Structure 1
Amino acid sequence: MADGLTIGQAAAFVGVTIKTVRHYHRLGLIAEPERDGSGYRRYGSADLLRLIQARTLAAAGVPLAEIGELLDADPERFAAALDDVSHRLTERIEDLVTRRDTLNRLTHGDRLLLPDRACVILDRLAGLGFGADYVAGQREALVLARALIPEIFDSFLTQLEHWLDDPEFVELTKRGWDAGSWDPDDPRIEKLASALADKLLTNRALLAMPTGFQNRSDAAARYGLVNHHLEDQGPSIARLNALVEANLRAAGIDVPHQ
């Protein structure tokens, strides 16, 4: 033991791998000891101290490229450098916490892409007895609306909040979803469209489109992608929506033409 430790012994004593010790050598963090008569490098107490210091700083999050300078710094520079490292670590922790929260929200699917206000509406839909398929479709529509027509997203949420307080509208909407199983030429679709349009027209102010949105050259395309989402999976729903929009336009509501 008087002749010092082999690299394997030094690594084991300090709690790192031989690969780590050699990596520290390559980076210049620890000088390689001289070889003894047998050709082995022998590590003494000073080498172990330096190795322990390097390992401790690395474990604390100090970048390896900065450790050598730190180990050679005077106490004042050492303290200032550690303060800087502490500040950077705090920023990393905050970033990691944000990422963790994002992952937690991902467990709720597309809710990651929606504000809390929209998520409350989705919860209300489920509480009012709408099926999981309908709620999922509305979630997708809200995600699309927020991305494609942000100018009217808040007013869209206001409409939903208002109409979900109206039991008659809720029932009409449920019938509209059930209409997906009807034949597209079923006469009930026309009657239901008329009833839905009449209900919507009882509060015309909620139907107004912001001027800024209507002036967009692609307003109709954006609106259509949201309002007609999933229609290709249900021709009866497509006909119902088309009739509702036609009734609203006939009543003077400026509904974008796709």
Structure 2
Amino acid sequence: MADGLTIGQAAAFVGVTIKTVRHYHRLGLVAEPERDSSDYRRYGSAELLRLVQVRTLAGAGVPLVEIGELLDADPERFAATLDDVHRRLTEQIEDLTARRDTLHRLAHGDRALLPDRACAVLDRLAELDFSPDYVATQREALVLARALIPDIFETFLARLERGLDDPEFVDLTKRGLDATSWDPDDPRIEELASALANKLLTDRALLTPPPGSQQPSDAAARYGLVNHHREDQEPSIARLNTLVEANLRAAGIDIPQ
């Protein structure tokens, strides 16, 4: 019986393919053994040890181009190189985890574009039995708000959170949704607008931009795109919002026009 193993046996023992062993040879990571009298290369314990070392390091994430130098390094350099590989792998894991989380968010529509706090507000709306269409509209408005008026986005969220914890505000909001079926000239819209404005004015701090926030030159256009989103589809809601804003301005709240 010939001494040593064939390339197929060596590959099987180490847990790689013959193609991988040959790739290691081409890169100079494992020296090719001498051929025997039958013109076969036979792998002994030294070659198998080297194959195991290369396979283990490669499996741990060490780039193949670095393995040869690493195996020939002194213990101090070996440890330092492994620390560097560990750092790089950690960064890759963090990046992959972030990508996975983004994919998970994508399964929930526009939530990929919103922070967890905003998503919690949307969940709260659903729990309070607001219609899926209204929740979708609010999701779109939050996405727009975060992109167009980032300086006041947190204040915007805080106002929503505070309002959803107030049964009276929730009831007024739901009455506002009922107004979608009203005629734009319905006198109930003025009454509802006054009630909504008065409720908002109970916490004026949440209606005032935070100190240091910058008002861009096109603030009115940005605000309008957010606060009047979808109004073109609902004339009565457009009038309701216009009246609420007018009442707030009359009370001294600076709202872009």
Q: TM-score scaled to structure 2, two decimals?
A: 0.83
Conserved in 2, the CA contact under 8 Å of 1:213 and 1:219? no
1:98-177 to 2 correspondence within 5 Å? 98-177=98-177
Measured after TM superposition, the shift of residue 213 of structure 1 is 5.1
Measured after TM superposition, the shift of residue 68 of structure 1 is 0.7
Partner of residue 74, structure 1: 74
Partner of residue 179, structure 1: 179
Give, in whole Å, the separation in 2 of the partners of 1:86 and 1:24.
23
Find the residue that maps to 1:129 and give its secondary structure. Answer: coil
Partner of residue 242, structure 2: 242
Measured after TM superposition, the shift of residue 156 of structure 1 is 1.6
Closer, same or farther: CA 117–23 of 1 in aligned 2, 3 Å: same
The one-letter code matched in structure 2 to 1:66 is E
Write out per-residue CA displacement over residues 90-115 of structure 1, whole angstroms, 9 at most, x where no aligned residue. 44444444444454455544444434
The one-letter code matched in structure 1 to 2:83 is D
Q: Judge which range, 190-199 or 139-148, deviates more.
A: 190-199
State the Cα RMSD in Å.
2.9
Closer, same or farther: CA 207–86 of 1 in aligned 2, 3 Å: closer
Closer, same or farther: CA 205–49 of 1 in aligned 2, 3 Å: closer
Q: TM-score scaled to structure 1, two decimals?
A: 0.82
Give, in whole Å, the separation in 1 of the partners of 2:204 and 2:43.
85
Find the residue that maps to 2:217 and give its secondary structure. Answer: coil
Measured after TM superposition, the shift of residue 74 of structure 1 is 3.2
Find the residue that maps to 1:2 and give its secondary structure. Answer: coil
Q: Judge which range, 67-76 or 119-128, deviates more.
A: 119-128
In percent, how many aligned pairs have the same letter? 81
Q: Can you give the 5+ residue segments of structure 1 that lack an aligned partner in the other structure? A: none
Q: Can you give the 5+ residue segments of structure 2 that lack an aligned partner in the other structure? A: none
Write out per-residue CA displacement over residues 43-94 of structure 1, whole angstroms, 9 at most, x where no aligned residue. 3332222111111111122111111112222344333333333343344444
Partner of residue 196, structure 1: 196
Give, in whole Å, the separation in 2 of the partners of 1:81 and 1:131.
57
Give, in whole Å, the separation in 1 of the partners of 2:143 and 2:42.
64
Conserved in 1, the CA contact under 8 Å of 2:14 and 2:48? yes
Closer, same or farther: CA 23–232 of 1 in aligned 2, 3 Å: farther
The one-letter code matched in structure 2 to 1:118 is A
Aligned length: 257
Q: Judge which range, 89-98 or 130-139, deviates more.
A: 89-98
Give, in whole Å, the separation in 1 of the partners of 2:91 and 2:196.
52
Closer, same or farther: CA 93–204 of 1 in aligned 2, 3 Å: closer
Closer, same or farther: CA 83–254 of 1 in aligned 2, 3 Å: closer
Q: Does 1:61 align with 2:61?
A: yes
Find the residue that maps to 1:16 and give its secondary structure. Answer: coil
Conserved in 1, the CA contact under 8 Å of 2:155 and 2:210? no
Partner of residue 219, structure 1: 219
The one-letter code matched in structure 2 to 1:159 is R
Conserved in 1, the CA contact under 8 Å of 2:151 and 2:214? no
Q: Judge which range, 80-89 or 10-19, deviates more.
A: 80-89
